[in-house]
């Protein structure tokens, strides 16, 4: 193995003995305590920078979350956490016109109108129950096809929930002869009774996935 020339004795240098050979100077070493302190301060600085970056990142995420929570659909509805929910007495309930969907399915809107002089909020699903002349009731399923959204209704403002159903012929087996429908606004227990004027429906009151169901409220 080759020897380090800096620390080996050279016989070509006259008058030198190994014991008298000048040795190169070593760089001064920091005391152990000073080195440890410097390393500790460096780590603390890195930790402080990391914590600052993490705090800034967390604050940014919180700001985005708050901004996203303030977003609501258009159509006269706005988000306002200080507005109370609509009471049953604040709302007028009505049924919209009938429209035909794909196949035999039909749809009409359950409309809630704010008739009060103040703003109030609605969200989720109204309750809906079809009732026959003899009092037999069919509580309609709620579909997740529309995500529930909180809406603030100004005086005169409206929200609607789509009611989809399958019609049936009068007097045939499996027909649900509805004559009225009971609509209960969200977060209330007081129903409004409306006349059902679109004839009987295919009775799927015991079905797991019936073709008659209600969607969540939407603006307008």
Q: What are the contacts of 97-104 at 24+ separation with CB within 8 A?
A: 98/198, 101/164, 104/166, 104/167
pLDDT given at position 64: 34
- Dig out the tokens for 92 from the structure: 């007028």
Distance (Å) of CA 166 to CA 102, 106, 199: 11, 6, 11
Which pLDDT score, from 0 to 100, does residue 81 have?
A: 60
Of 70, 92, 82, residue with least CA distance to 155 = 92
pLDDT tens profile 34-92: 444 444 444 444 444 444 444 444 444 433 333 222 224 433 444 456 899 999 999 99
pLDDT at 103: 86
Counting as low any pLDDT under 50, the low residues of the chain are 1-28, 30-79
What phi-psi label fits residue 75: left (phi over 0), alpha (psi between -120 and 50 degrees) or beta? Answer: left
- What does the pLDDT read at residue 27? 46
pLDDT at 80: 57
- Quote the pLDDT of residue 39: 45
Q: Residue 100 corresponds to which tokens in the numbers above?
A: 């035909």
Which residues are CB-neighbours of 101 under 8 A, at least 6 positions away?
107, 164
Q: Which residues are CB-contacts of 96 (< 8 A; sequence separation ≥ 6)?
A: 108, 109, 110, 111, 160
């Amino acid at each position: 193995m080759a020897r380090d020339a800096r620390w080996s004795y050279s016989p070509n240098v006259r008058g030198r003995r190994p014991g008298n050979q000048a040795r190169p100077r070593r760089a001064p070493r920091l005391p152990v305590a000073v080195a440890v302190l410097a390393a500790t301060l460096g780590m603390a600085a890195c930790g402080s920078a990391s914590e600052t970056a993490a705090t800034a990142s967390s604050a940014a995420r919180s700001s985005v979350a708050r901004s996203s929570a303030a977003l609501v659909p258009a159509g006269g509805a706005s988000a306002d956490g200080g507005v109370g929910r609509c009471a049953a007495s604040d709302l007028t309930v009505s049924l919209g016109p009938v429209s035909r969907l794909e196949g035999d399915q039909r749809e009409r809107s359950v409309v809630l109108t704010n008739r009060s002089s103040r703003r109030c909020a609605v969200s989720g699903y109204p309750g809906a129950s079809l009732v026959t002349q003899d009092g037999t009731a069919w509580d309609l399923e709620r579909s997740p096809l529309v995500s529930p959204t909180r809406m603030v209704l100004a005086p005169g403002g409206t929200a609607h929930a789509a009611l989809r159903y399958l019609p049936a012929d009068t007097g045939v087996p499996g027909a649900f002869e509805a004559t009225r429908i009971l609509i209960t606004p969200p977060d209330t227990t007081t129903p409004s009774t409306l006349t059902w004027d679109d004839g009987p429906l295919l009775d799927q009151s015991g079905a797991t996935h019936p073709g008659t169901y209600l969607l969540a409220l939407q603006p307008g």
